[in-house]
Structure 1
């Protein structure tokens, strides 16, 4: 995003390397923060409750220790997921894609990247690195088990480790988002159509089809055959299916948002506004903005927009007091840095607005003159499609017409 003539403070996310908000920091691996979400303890508890009795039944000598072994199983799963996500992050680093953090949670985990420029081929390589890492772990575990040197609990955990990584690796290459294999579908459609958004939508629908297939295979078919599905298997299918369906739906929605990013344009979406110094009176406001149109943005001695006049409050001031009443008395403050240039648009504009407090943002031209007022709701409507394109076009015309020949006093 380009800077206006008056320096605008960059809003950078505050670094909190040891914040407990949302999870427990586990430190950094290769400079990448790793966070253990509190939701992971739910899947750990489920693993202990579900598999502890099974292990105790299969090996009565374990006794209560079987539950500790089950917990160790959940930790091995955690390590497997961590290796999976690290493979994504480290492969992405080869293409200079910055990784914000790795989160390990109820559903396994995810790698959160910062903004980067992708391509179909690179997207596939980064996605496939995760399952490949799990298959390598499974192969290494199998070599250890096949050596026949492990006994008792160690042999049990090693076998679990092999099968867990084999399952994670194979399951994640299924061709549908949010699974890694969905990137294959996404990239194929992306390459064929030239549209990243169409690829993501196609891969999202493929993910929904996978959910339906899993439900049919593990629930519907056993019921039709007269067999009662295993309760634990049904619960796992429900949990995994819910996660996949939500992830696929989120991918489809995000792709639709991306397809509308070109409509997120500061100049096109802003309503006309005029800038006045914060020393102005209500009478000055009423002279420049009869009936509250255009909006009035106040700026300080540094020329930075600082407040927006509430037109209803200004209109309520008695005429006899208008000249003596400061405009600041009938205004509400803008957040620090809550102004953008007319040329700002797309993902960069959204990223900047997302870091600001408040819901109104002044729009300025290259000379720093206020030309418009951008509302958060207007941006959201343009992004979600609730606002028809014709409305955005009429606002653009109004903003341009209102901005001609207007200077700050």
Structure 2
């Protein structure tokens, strides 16, 4: 069971898992996905021999008892995810869904965890819920005077919840224990991305460990590994490995986002007055070159109004297409791309603040002006921002 929070970049509302909505918790739908039904069949078959061994008199009724155990486990998973959702909402998150899947379940939320304590509390409450359920089932099991079907289900509930609680506390993403480790490293280092990457690498170790457990432990005991156990462990290990890899990528992405700065990414700018001609703009560029300004190194020509406010940026391809004879009569606004009103950024704007501004104010434009104290200092190309986030700048 896991919790998931999108990376800290503006994005459309997350796509909802497909399945049957059975209710709502913390304002979010509880979804039973199609894959859970496959898991229910597999778990029923796996638990069936235990029921038949302890209650051979049940006959075909053993199938029903095994399925009741699966429903009991389903309820435990639901309570686990509900605990995540309720605490996430209490910590200021917008819970978007609780999904019951073939791997157990996950709770998705948006809002951005602001403090290590938030992540710790959201993560730890899920496994603690299972451990509390395990304790309750065990106490009830111990109080039962005879071993019958209800007692068997109490025993199964105790064992399964104890396993789920302990397994989810393993300190590697995407497990809850990984988010706990992430929060602890975040608290110590002050950088969430460091915690995410560290917990992701530990998650890969856990993934390998799950498979090795199925292979090595039987060999150390002088037995042959059970094929079904090895296959199941391999599937779980693959799931954990993929989740750990995604966590590492998200951590690196967060590092890249935190390093974003408008001033550092922007192309420097030369300004020309609104109403100027293309010839005057090119003359201004030539004068800048003559004075030693390395215009060829990415400078952009920006058209400014009477108050110095940025109006548009010259399209170099359009400028080059103007015949030499027409440059003295062609206004710069005829070969310029207008800036979106309100899209200007300060050179010190950085990180998620910069991304949120670009997402909400650029209106899809690729270029935005960089302005400091009323003076245009550069032009920011959103393609450069995207490359920086991807780590390819």
- TM-score normalised to structure 1 length: 0.69
1:350 corresponds in structure 2 to 355
Q: Does the 8 Å CA contact 2:203/2:244 hold for their aligned counterparts?
A: yes
Q: Does the 8 Å CA contact 2:47/2:66 hold for their aligned counterparts?
A: no
Looking at structure 1, the residues matched to 277 and 337 of structure 2 have their Cα atoms a distance apart, in angstroms, of 15
- Tell me, yes or no, if structure 1 residue 44 matches structure 2 residue 30: no
Q: Does the 8 Å CA contact 2:204/2:244 hold for their aligned counterparts?
A: yes
2:368 corresponds in structure 1 to 362
- Tell me, yes or no, if structure 1 residue 374 matches structure 2 residue 373: no
Residues 159 and 368 (structure 1), Cα distance of their counterparts in 2 relative to 1, 3 Å cut: farther
Looking at structure 2, the residues matched to 376 and 176 of structure 1 have their Cα atoms a distance apart, in angstroms, of 35
- Tell me, yes or no, if structure 1 residue 101 matches structure 2 residue 107: no
Residues 306 and 227 (structure 1), Cα distance of their counterparts in 2 relative to 1, 3 Å cut: farther
Tell me the CA shift for residue 297 of structure 1. Answer: 5.3
Q: Rg bigger for which structure?
A: 2
1:9-408 aligned at under 5 Å gives the runs 28-31=24-27, 33-34=28-29, 36=31, 40-49=33-42, 51-52=44-45, 55=48, 58=52, 60-62=59-61, 66=64, 70=67, 76-94=72-90, 96-104=91-99, 105-107=101-103, 108-119=105-116, 121=117, 123-143=119-139, 160-193=156-189, 195-222=191-218, 229-273=225-269, 286=282, 294-296=299-301, 308-322=313-327, 330=335, 338-353=343-358, 358=364, 360-366=366-372, 370-383=376-389, 385-387=391-393
Looking at structure 2, the residues matched to 138 and 224 of structure 1 have their Cα atoms a distance apart, in angstroms, of 30
Looking at structure 1, the residues matched to 205 and 385 of structure 2 have their Cα atoms a distance apart, in angstroms, of 33
Looking at structure 1, the residues matched to 87 and 322 of structure 2 have their Cα atoms a distance apart, in angstroms, of 63
**More deviation in 358-367 or 241-250?**
358-367
- TM-score normalised to structure 2 length: 0.71
Q: Secondary structure at the match of 1:272?
A: strand
Q: Does the 8 Å CA contact 1:340/1:361 hold for their aligned counterparts?
A: no
Looking at structure 2, the residues matched to 288 and 24 of structure 1 have their Cα atoms a distance apart, in angstroms, of 65
Residues 54 and 75 (structure 1), Cα distance of their counterparts in 2 relative to 1, 3 Å cut: closer
Tell me the CA shift for residue 136 of structure 1. Answer: 2.0
Structure 2: unaligned runs, 5 residues or longer: 1-8, 53-57, 287-294
Looking at structure 2, the residues matched to 193 and 85 of structure 1 have their Cα atoms a distance apart, in angstroms, of 29
Looking at structure 1, the residues matched to 383 and 333 of structure 2 have their Cα atoms a distance apart, in angstroms, of 24
Number of residues of Structure 1 aligned to a counterpart in Structure 2: 367
Q: Does the 8 Å CA contact 1:73/1:160 hold for their aligned counterparts?
A: yes
1:405 corresponds in structure 2 to none
Tell me the CA shift for residue 13 of structure 1. Answer: 7.2
1:144-193 per-residue CA deviation (whole Å, 9 max, x = no partner) reads 55665999987776655444322221111112222222345445545555
1:200-245 per-residue CA deviation (whole Å, 9 max, x = no partner) reads 4333322222222211111345468785543432332222212222
Looking at structure 1, the residues matched to 337 and 226 of structure 2 have their Cα atoms a distance apart, in angstroms, of 60
Structure 1: unaligned runs, 5 residues or longer: 1-10, 388-409
Tell me the CA shift for residue 349 of structure 1. Answer: 1.7
